[in-house]
Structure 1
Amino acid sequence: MSAGAERPAEPVVARPASTVLLLRDGPDGRLQVFLQRRVTGMAFGGGMTVFPGGGVDRTDLDDPAPWSGPAPRWWADRLGTEPTVAAGFVRAAVRETFEESGVLLASRPDGTPVDQGVLGEARADVVARTRTFGDVLAEAGLVLRADLLRLWARWITPVVQPRRYDTVFFTALVPDGQEADAHTTEAVEASWWSPSDALAAHRDKEIGLMRPTLAILTDIARHPDAASLHAAGPDGPIRPILPMVVGPGPRVLLPGDPGYDPDVAAGVVRTGGAR
């Protein structure tokens, strides 16, 4: 390799994942977001308090289930990816929300809401992967409601981590008549938080937050209610945020921070100068 040339390091490939900020207004009219504290022994984010979500499955990529709302190409243009991949992010967002909270972002083909209890028994089948989420929707005569999701952000796990995710964060208002629950084996507790209360609990070391969750809670805390936050998502393409980890400490730098180097963040190694 010539002097000054660059060669890519070999970080673990980031697995596509989706996370949903479920939103509602609390009894006092203030914005609330649904958070879950993950089981301590989990390989990624164990013990951390997070939004519902998880990895994109193969079935999310090729699921033929009926779809209502912006087409995969529309999402692809905003995510800078292929339509199949973009559709996988959207389907995973709806499926994971259903699996982890019971909230169902689906309806009758004419838009008529459904009782979330309609798929109550099927939820365990989807979690166990004995039936695909698409099959469950089709058998119930329901369509996936992509129009109930709004893009918020996209974060990629730093290259130095042994387990990495390329995670798209969506927002969604809890449909009328539905309730989020804590019936998931991946969390030990789940509840509704105002962003400011969650941030205060983090400062007091009552809960742990990963950097993306901390940054997003900080960002959304300025919104007074669920509707204003949901409407505030970016209309155009979103740029992935790839943190850069530096020592000692370690410290985490974000794009725009002094010392942030996009090449280093991406795992590009610069070889020495002239010899």
Structure 2
Amino acid sequence: MRAGRLEPVPARHAATVVVLRDHDEHGLQAFMLRRVASMAFAPGAYVFPGGSVDPRDGEIAPGWSGPSPAEWGKAFNADETLARELVCAAVRETFEETLVLLAGPTGGTVVDDTRGDDWEADRQALLDRSQSFGQFLERRGLVLRSDLLRPWTHWITPAIEPKRYDTRFFVAGMPAGQRARDVSTEADQVAWVRPAEGLERAAAGEWFLMPPTLATLSELAGYETVADVLAAPREIVVHEPIAEVIDDEVYLILPKGTEKFYPGG
């Protein structure tokens, strides 16, 4: 970068879901995973469930309840095909990493329990790509519940990074009857945490949070309940930190308006 020869790698489309619940004692909480130290991208960081779009996420049009791919496209400034892939990736990755499944037998229901050997076999088949997400839903006769998701924000990895993601963030409430579990091989710890508590742990040096996670927790800390979050009006703004050389040192410049989410900002 100092020599002016940096050629950014293309950013892969990805989806992240902030799964939320209302706790009787602690109030609003988000489910988070700590990435294992061996991961090439963000090792040791606490993150929300999510991952890259699978090329097959849009191959089969599953049963669908809620906002259409075209409506999601308007929210996230994406064409209809990409919007369908993003929503499918959001639901698929959340199931793969937590066993939380935003789908049900009808457009007004969700599966009440995803524990058991048969569900684990399906999860493994999704992980090893021996079945697509559409095939999984079709075989089980499930309808994807896009109405349980809300668009939240959009972040792009800085051009200086060797691995880059163009990530749309969703929020969703924890479905009744289901339980989020520590099943991801990419994580070594999971936690339900109040957004403000996550920020406190980061400020104390206990947790490593990347800028999008820190900003999202900071926004969520202003809400009391899951219903409040889901009802919040959102204008989706694209955030992309920029690396600049200042006095021969490389600094990451945060997007305008996100400085307030950082200690001392």
TM-score, normalisation: structure 2: 0.88
The one-character-per-residue Cα deviations of 1:121-176 (angstroms, maximum 9, x if unpaired) are 31111112111121111111111111110000000011111111000000000110
- Which residue number in structure 2 is paired with residue 271 of structure 1? none
Is 2:217 the partner of 1:217?
yes
1:59 equivalent in alignment to 2:56 = yes
- Residues in 1 aligned to 2:35 and 2:98: alpha-carbon distance in whole angstroms: 13
Which residue of 39, 47, 50 maps to 2:44?
47
Three-state SS of the structure 2 residue aligned to 1:59 is coil
Q: CA deviation at 1:231?
A: 1.5
**Does 2:189 align with 1:192?**
no
Cα-Cα RMSD: 1.9
Q: Contact (CA 8 Å) 1:150, 1:172: kept in 2 or not? A: yes
In structure 1, what is the equivalent of residue 237 of structure 2?
239
CA shift digits 1:71-99 (9 cap, x unpaired)? 11111112112100111110000000000
Give the secondary-structure state (helix, strand or coil) at the position aligned to 1:96.
helix
Whole-Å separation in 2 of the counterparts to 1:165 and 1:20: 15
**Contact between 1:150 and 1:233, CA under 8 Å: does it hold in 2?**
no
Give the unaligned 5+ runs of structure 1: 1-8, 259-275
Which amino acid in 2 is paired with 1:211?
A: P
> Is the Cα–Cα contact under 8 Å of residues 125 and 131 in structure 2 kept in the other structure?
yes
Q: Deviations over 1:154-205 (max 9, x none)?
A: 0001111111100000000011011101111010011100011111111111
SS class of match (1:166): strand
Which secondary structure does the structure 2 equivalent of 1:36 belong to? Answer: strand
Q: In 2, distance between residues paired with 1:111 and 1:89?
A: 21
Query: Which one of the candidate residues 70, 76, 81 is aligned to 1:79?
Result: 76
Contact 2:157–2:164 under 8 Å retained in 1: yes
Separation (CA, whole Å) in 2 of partners of 1:184 and 1:203: 26
1:61 deviates by 2.6
Match of 1:254 in 2: 255
The residue aligned with 1:180 is: 180
Give yes or no for contact 1:151–1:233 (8 Å, CA) kept in 2. Answer: no
Residue 3 of structure 1 corresponds to none
1:159 equivalenced with 2:156 (yes/no): no
The answer to whether the Cα contact below 8 Å between 1:17 and 1:92 also exists between their aligned partners in 2 is yes
* Alpha carbons 1:67, 1:145 under 8 Å: kept: yes
Distance change (3 Å), C-alpha of 1:90 and 1:67: same
> Could you say what secondary structure the match of 2:17 adopts?
strand
In 1: Cα distance, 2:220 partner to 2:257 partner: 19
Counterparts of 1:129-168 in structure 2, within 5 Å, are 129-168=129-168
Greater alpha carbon shift after TM alignment, 223-232 vs 175-184 = 223-232
Shift in Å, 1:29: 5.2
Taking structure 1 as reference, are residues 123 and 75 closer, same or farther at Cα in structure 2, changes over 3 Å only? same
2:119 matches 1:122: no
